[in-house]
């Protein structure tokens, strides 16, 4: 039975989620390459940790994502690799799913849009709802085409300077300021197809007058968790007189709408994604036996989005307007979690430029928790951060191995030596003991907040997990002054019990961030893998067998085969003489093996 030694933490953080299905979306990645650490550190790790924590709190939460097959970047990648877009999308979609598994991220629903037989019809119906609303309609506006080929230019096919912030940008969205462009408004536009300056033409596409939805978006932003960064972006956008957004584009890759006047055009992949989220819920529900339908979203659905800042316009501004048109009776309750860019050696990670550390290069059973911890610590929350391989190696060696593992191994060795390998029963308590226990309670409260729905921050969670270890190591060092002194053995026993409580807290509270480490540490403390979030700091039951001393939590797997030892050195001339001396002294046969055998084993009883 657990010994409860402090008060329960506040459980109010999850009240908004009680008795509701919670759908946590990480932006579907573009299958034009595998996932790199920039991707993994953002939406995917964030959503995974979020769902793990919510489930430990008793919330019914699911992680939903997939592959964004109909992106123009897939066409560009297919052309570069000399194959069809469908083949390219299928190949990289499978690679992406495999990399997520290596990261111990296993979504509950992974939709492959080009392979889902129901997806196209559902998307067309969603788009038809937009058209029937009267707000989405054909509109003639300026567009860009390649001067040499006449090919339509958008997204990956065109670049220039952002008409809003002036920084270099690709077509349709600026990664720096987050504002959309319509390509024809780019300064100094450049085509990816030829060196000639693009030519401007007038083109009819279905378009949305987004400026008409300022009040709807503002009302939506008052409902859920919307970071100030997104509200500021919305304020900038709605300061424009007009904001007409084309929602179809000329292309042969994608889903053509059913409407007249859209020949040779497809539904733009970003409005498509608004439907894709609802389709993912329906697909998940079908497997779970739940009556969730994409064409009839329910009022009790709680949606949580994780995405990079470059997707902010689509998720937090465009999609609420589209949902208002397609489902006017639905008031979606959505929380938004946004990350900035993670840089690699000072420059942006880039799939298309292949400037990246790919997940498969660094992830494995022995490294995954170290990578998850490091990326949690380095995740770009509110600012851009930088990944350097040397810094990762330093954190692994000095923090996880040099501090965490060292403390846990040392604690295990002391318990084996002084308590026969079993958790001791606490004895006399001192003011320092009580203060340390309160400190652990403060750490638990901070972790509950930093992993919770309102204040979610992997930066703070990683810092607090490390803080538990630092606190415990400092406490251990201070208390060691009286170790071995008979008069203070009862106090020393209490200090050891409190260190075990810290280790148990670390195991339970690290589970969302570092699930393998948490399960292994819990096992070494005589407990099953953590399933519930701790409501209090508790002592390990006295008498529990503790197996910490020789555990390898980071670095090589403990069950890995060790490397073969180096080849033995050539025999020294002394060895034949020693063999002869032993054989003659003990009256052994000339061929009796004597190497690696003790004298007693060879029959000597005395000297």
Rounded Cα–Cα distance for residues 203 and 76 (Å) = 23
From CA 561, how far away is CA 566, in angstroms rounded? 15
Q: What is the model's pLDDT at position 377?
A: 95
Other C-beta atoms closer than 10 Å to the C-beta of 450 total 19
Is 575 exposed, middle or buried (CB count within 10 Å of its CB: 0-12, 13-18, 19+)?
exposed
The 10s digit of each residue's pLDDT in 505-533 is 999 999 999 999 999 999 999 999 999 99
Over residues 579-599, the pLDDT tens digits come to 555 555 555 566 566 554 444
Provide the pLDDT confidence category of residue 206 given band limits of 50, 70 and 90.
very high
Task: Identify the CATH homologous superfamily for domain 368-539.
Answer: Isoleucyl-tRNA Synthetase; Domain 1 (1.10.730.10)
Residue from 375, 351, 354, 352 nearest 363 by CA: 375
Dig out the tokens for 591 from the structure: 């061929």
Classify residue 195 by its DSSP letter: S
CA gap 160, 123 in Å, rounded = 31
Residue 537 — very low, low, confident or very high, per pLDDT cuts 50/70/90? Answer: very high
- Cα–Cα–Cα angle for 393, 395, 396, nearest 5°? 65
Please choose, from the candidates 270, 324, 279, 351, the residue with its C-alpha nearest in 3D space to the C-alpha of residue 92: 351
Q: How sure is the predictor about 17, in pLDDT bands with cuts at 50, 70 and 90?
A: confident
Average pLDDT, the chain: 90
Contacts 24+ apart (CB under 8 A), 159-162: 159/186, 159/189, 159/190, 159/192, 160/186, 160/187, 160/188, 160/189, 160/190, 161/186, 161/187, 161/188, 162/186, 162/187
Q: Is 306 helix (H, G, I), strand (E, B) or coil?
A: strand
Contact indicator for 359, 103 with CB cutoff of 8 Å: yes
Percent of the chain with pLDDT over 70: 88
In our burial notation (b when 16+ CB lie closer than 10 A, e otherwise), range 126-135 reads bbebbbeeeb
| 194 contacts: CB under 8 Å, gap ≥ 6 | 146, 147, 148, 149
- Taking residues 123-132, report their average pLDDT: 98
Q: Is the pLDDT of residue 563 over 70?
A: no
Query: 78, 87 in Cβ contact below 8 A?
Result: yes
Residue carrying the six token digits 């609802």:
278
Q: Give me the residue label for tokens 């693009």.
A: 198
15, pLDDT greater than 50: no
d(CA 282, CA 298): 11
CB 278: neighbour CB atoms within 10 A? 26
Between 482 and 164, the higher pLDDT residue? 164
> What's residue 8's pLDDT?
36
Smallest Cα–Cα separation from 185: which of 229, 224, 240, 134? 240
CATH 1.10.730.10 domain range(s) in the chain: 368-539
C-alpha 509/C-alpha 462 separation (Å) is 10
Q: Please report, rounded to a whole number, the percentage of residues in the chain having pLDDT higher than 90.
A: 79
**What is the C-alpha to C-alpha distance for residues 50 and 512, in angstroms, rounded to an integer?**
7
pLDDT in tens, 354-394: 677 889 999 999 999 999 999 999 999 988 888 878 889 99
Please list the residue range(s) of the chain that carry CATH number 3.40.50.620.
Answer: 3-362
The answer to whether 462 and 377 have CB atoms below 8 angstroms apart is yes
Residue 578 has pLDDT above 70, yes or no: no
Q: What is the pLDDT of residue 575?
A: 45
Residue 419, classified by CB atoms within 10 Å of its CB into exposed (0-12), middle (13-18) or buried (19+), is middle
The sign of the torsion formed by the CA atoms of 71, 76, 78, 81 equals negative
Give the dihedral sign, CA 505/420/433/479. Answer: negative
The DSSP secondary structure of 526-587, one letter per residue, reads: T-PPP-S--SS-EEPPTT-B---TT---SSS-TTSPPPPPPPPPPPPTHHHHHHHHHHHHTT
- Would you say residue 246 has pLDDT above 70? yes
What's the rounded mean pLDDT across residues 74-90?
96
Nearest to 315 by CA among 259, 277, 283, 347: 277
Picking from 242, 246, 151, the residue whose alpha carbon sits closest to that of residue 205 is 246
- Please report the pLDDT score of residue 344 as a whole number: 83
Residue 327 contacts by C-beta under 8 Å, 6 or more apart in sequence? Answer: 129, 296, 297
Task: Classify 3-362 by CATH class.
Answer: alpha beta
Residue ranges of the alpha helices (H) in 82-182? 85-102, 119-132
Over the stretch 389-410, which tens digit does the pLDDT of each residue have? 888 999 999 999 999 999 999 9
């Amino acid at each position: 039975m657990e010994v409860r030694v402090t008060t329960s933490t506040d459980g109010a953080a999850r009240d908004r989620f009680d008795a509701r299905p919670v759908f946590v979306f990480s932006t579907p990645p573009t299958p034009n390459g595998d996932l790199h650490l920039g991707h993994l550190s953002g939406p995917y790790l964030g959503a995974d940790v979020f769902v793990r924590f919510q489930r430990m709190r008793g919330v019914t939460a699911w992680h939903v994502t997939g592959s964004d097959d109909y992106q123009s970047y897939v066409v560009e990648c297919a052309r570069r690799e000399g194959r069809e877009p469908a083949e390219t999308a299928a190949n990289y979609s499978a690679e992406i799913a495999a990399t997520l598994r290596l990261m111990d991220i296993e979504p509950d629903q992974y939709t492959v849009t080009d392979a889902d037989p129901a997806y196209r019809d559902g998307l067309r119906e969603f788009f038809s709802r937009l058209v029937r609303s009267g707000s989405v309609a054909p509109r003639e506006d300026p567009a860009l085409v390649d001067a040499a080929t006449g090919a339509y230019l958008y997204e990956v096919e065109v670049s220039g300077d952002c008409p809003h912030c002036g920084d270099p940008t690709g077509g349709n969205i600026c990664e720096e300021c987050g504002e959309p462009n319509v390509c024809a408004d780019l300064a100094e536009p450049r085509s990816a197809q030829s060196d000639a300056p693009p030519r401007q033409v007038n083109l009819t596409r279905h378009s949305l007058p987004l400026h008409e939805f300022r009040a709807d978006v503002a009302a939506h932003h008052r409902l859920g968790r919307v970071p100030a960064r997104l509200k500021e972006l919305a304020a900038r956008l709605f300061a424009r007189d007009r904001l007409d957004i084309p929602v179809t584009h000329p292309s042969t890759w994608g889903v053509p709408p059913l409407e007249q006047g859209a020949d040779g055009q497809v539904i733009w992949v970003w409005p498509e994604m608004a439907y894709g989220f609802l389709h993912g819920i329906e697909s998940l529900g079908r497997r779970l036996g739940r009556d969730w339908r994409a064409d009839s979203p329910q009022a009790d659905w709680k949606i949580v989005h994780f995405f990079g800042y470059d997707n902010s316009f689509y998720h937090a501004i465009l999609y609420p307007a589209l949902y208002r048109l397609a489902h006017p009776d639905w008031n979606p309750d959505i929380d938004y979690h946004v990350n900035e860019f993670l840089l690699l050696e000072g420059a942006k990670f880039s799939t298309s430029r292949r400037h990246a550390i790919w997940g498969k290069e660094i992830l494995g059973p022995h490294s995954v928790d170290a990578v998850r911890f490091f990326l949690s610590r380095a995740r770009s929350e509110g600012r851009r951060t930088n990944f350097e391989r040397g810094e990762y190696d330093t954190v692994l060696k000095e923090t996880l191995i040099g501090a965490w593992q060292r403390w846990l191994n040392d604690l295990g060795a002391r318990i084996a030596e002084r308590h026969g390998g079993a958790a001791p029963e606490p004895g006399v308590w001192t003011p320092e003991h009580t203060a340390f226990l309160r400190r652990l309670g403060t750490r638990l409260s901070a972790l509950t907040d930093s992993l919770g729905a309102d204040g979610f921050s992997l930066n703070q969670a990683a810092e607090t997990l490390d803080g538990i270890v630092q606190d415990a190591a400092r406490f251990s060092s201070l208390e060691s002054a009286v170790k071995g002194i008979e008069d203070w053995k009862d106090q020393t026993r209490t200090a050891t019990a409190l260190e075990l409580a810290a280790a148990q807290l670390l195991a339970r509270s690290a589970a969302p961030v570092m699930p393998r480490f948490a399960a292994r540490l819990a096992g070494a403390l005589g407990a099953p893998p953590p399933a519930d979030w701790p409501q209090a700091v508790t002592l390990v039951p006295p008498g529990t067998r503790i197996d910490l001393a020789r555990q390898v939590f980071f670095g090589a797997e403990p069950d890995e085969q060790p490397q073969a030892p180096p080849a033995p050195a050539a025999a020294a001339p002394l060895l034949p003489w020693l063999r002869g001396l032993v054989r003659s002294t003990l009256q052994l046969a000339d061929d009796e093996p004597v190497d690696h055998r003790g004298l007693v084993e060879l029959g000597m009883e005395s000297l």
